[in-house]
Amino acid sequence: MWKKLKKEMLLVIAPVITHIMIRLIYLSMRITYINYDHYRHLASSGTQSILAFWHSRILMMPYGYPGSVLTTLVSAHRDGELITRTVRPFGILSVRGSTTRGWFKGLRGILEAVKNGRDIAITPDGPKGPARRAQMGALQIARSTGLPIMPVSFGASKKKPLAPGTLL
């Protein structure tokens, strides 16, 4: 009983803490967008697209999307539920499914989201990997929908210390 209660508490508390953490990290950063104009133009013109980013870059991706209607493909596993609950306050909806569990339901949900005018986000390497090696899912979705795939990423580095005597 305690084990089940702890799992349920984790599903309620962890997404809230993670969401707050992502927002605080974002507020502490200086953002520079590189080669972003083409995607921003597509988004502002109403052209739907598929955002593809590596699984290891998932944390800050809610801030890599300039639009307002995004649906992401998330694992049907319990970890996927944590992600779903974490991104919901950003306005990101989730469709559950993966290559190993519920792939048909996931595909059907993605196609429905596209039909409703939503952009799609997908991690083409998935949680099981191999890391940074795209599987066929994003290409199959692009082929089925006719949407362009927009590769996106997020990177961060430490702020370089100022030289002694430098004025701000």
44-65 per-position pLDDT tens digit = 888 899 999 888 888 888 887 7
**Residue 119 located in a structural domain:** yes
Q: How far apart are CA 101 and CA 106, in angstroms?
A: 9
pTM: 0.80
The residue range of the domain holding 88 is 2-30+45-151
What pLDDT is attached to residue 71?
93
Are 94 and 113 in contact by the 8 Å Cβ rule? The answer is: no
- Averaged pLDDT score across all residues of the chain: 83
Residue 168: pLDDT band by 50, 70, 90 thresholds?
very low
**Residue 123 located in a structural domain:** yes
What pLDDT is attached to residue 166?
47
Exposed, middle or buried: residue 74 (CB in 10 Å: 0-12, 13-18, 19+)?
buried
Q: How far apart are CA 141 and CA 162, in angstroms?
A: 47
Buried b (16+ CB within 10 A) or exposed e, 120-147: bbbbbbbbeeeeeebbebbeebbeebeb
What pLDDT is attached to residue 39?
79
**Residue 160 located in a structural domain:** no
**Residue 38 located in a structural domain:** no
pLDDT digits (tens, 9 = 90+) for 97-141: 876 677 778 888 999 999 999 999 998 887 677 888 888 888 888
Tell me which amino acid residue 21 is.
Answer: M
| pLDDT over threshold 70, residue 162 | no
**Residue 52 located in a structural domain:** yes
**Residue 84 located in a structural domain:** yes
**51 CB neighbour count, 10 Å cutoff:** 22
Please list the alpha-helical segments (H only) found in the chain: 2-27, 37-44, 78-87, 103-115, 137-145
**Residue 36 located in a structural domain:** no
What pLDDT is attached to residue 127?
67
What is residue 154's three-state secondary structure? coil
| pLDDT over threshold 90, residue 92 | yes
What pLDDT is attached to residue 165?
53
**Residue 162 located in a structural domain:** no
Place of tokens 């596993």: 77
What pLDDT is attached to residue 159?
66
Structural domains of the chain, count: 1
Q: How far apart are CA 115 and CA 110, in angstroms?
A: 9
Residue 92: which CATH number? 3.40.1010
